Amino acid sequence: MTDSFEPVFDRTPGVEEHGPTVSYLSYSVGLGLAILATITSFVVSQTDLLWPPGIPVGLIVLAFAQIGVHLVFFLHLGSGPDSTNNILALAFGVLIVFLVISGSVWIISNLNSNMMPMPQ
């Protein structure tokens, strides 16, 4: 008896075992979750469901959920050994974006604090 049995539920959602046989079900589930996150963010921003100071936090959480749905279901980014390079490339991209944004904010705030006051 061989151990060729591989359970279907033993992999990341949206990541298929064979590249050409990507199922429409994973794309449909991903599309449904992305639409749900988008509609939820519009509802959160346009209604009084959340406490008003908590609205930005709720929108940030929904934005990260949307990013996760896109990475798993559409870009097929999983935690398997085949996705190691993709995860490293994503982490490097996030690092570069963080450095650019934080450096820009730092430079702009430094320029703002060193400007001479304008006469009225």
CA-wise closest residue to 75 among 97, 90, 94: 90
Q: Quick: pLDDT tens for 75-115.
A: 888 877 878 888 898 899 999 999 999 999 999 999 999 99
What pLDDT, on the 0 to 100 scale, is given for residue 42? 96
H-only helix segments in the chain: 24-46, 55-69, 84-114
Q: Quick: pLDDT tens for 25-69.
A: 889 999 999 999 999 999 999 999 889 999 999 999 999 999 999
List the domain boundaries for the chain: 1-79, 81-120
What type of residue sits at position 48?
D
- Is 0.85 topped by the overall pTM? no
